[in-house]
Amino acid sequence: MARRGLPSAQKDAGSSVSTLSHRPRAKNETMPETRSYSLPYARTQRASYGAILSQTMFLVAVAIGFLVVGSYVGAGPGDAEALGRGAAMGCTIAAVVLLFAQAFIGSLRTGGAGMAVLFVVALLLGLGLGPVLESFNVTGQADVVTKAAGTTGLVVVAAGAGGTLIAKDLSGWMKPISIILLVAVAVSWGMLIFGGGGGVAGDVVSLVIGAVSAVAIVIYFNFLRLQATEDDVVWLATGIFVAVVNIFMTMLNIFGD
Specify the number of domains making up the chain: 1
Q: Is residue 197 part of a domain?
A: yes
Distance separating alpha carbons of residues 198 and 192, to the nearest angstrom? 9
Answer whether residue 214 shows pLDDT above 60. yes
What residues contact 247, with CB distance under 8 A and at least 6 apart? 152, 155, 156, 210, 213, 214
| pLDDT in the model for residue 119 | 97
Question: What value does the mean pLDDT of the chain take?
Answer: 80
Q: Is residue 57 part of a domain?
A: yes
pTM of the model: 0.77
| pLDDT in the model for residue 37 | 37
Distance separating alpha carbons of residues 179 and 219, to the nearest angstrom? 13
| DSSP character string of 122-136 | HHHHHHHHHHHHHHH
* Residues of the domain holding 104: 49-255
Residues found in the chain? 257
Q: Is residue 140 part of a domain?
A: yes
Q: Is residue 73 part of a domain?
A: yes
The residue ranking higher by pLDDT, 209 or 42, is 209
Q: Is residue 177 part of a domain?
A: yes
Start-to-end CA distance of the chain, whole Å, equals: 118
Nearest CA among 124, 134, 139 for reference residue 89:
124
Mean pLDDT, range 214-230, rounded to an integer: 93
Q: Is residue 8 part of a domain?
A: no
Provide the pLDDT confidence category of residue 42 given band limits of 50, 70 and 90.
very low
| pLDDT in the model for residue 193 | 64
User: Is the separation of the CB atoms in 256 and 249 below 8 Å?
Assistant: no
Q: Is residue 12 part of a domain?
A: no
Q: Is residue 97 part of a domain?
A: yes
The residue ranking higher by pLDDT, 243 or 34, is 243
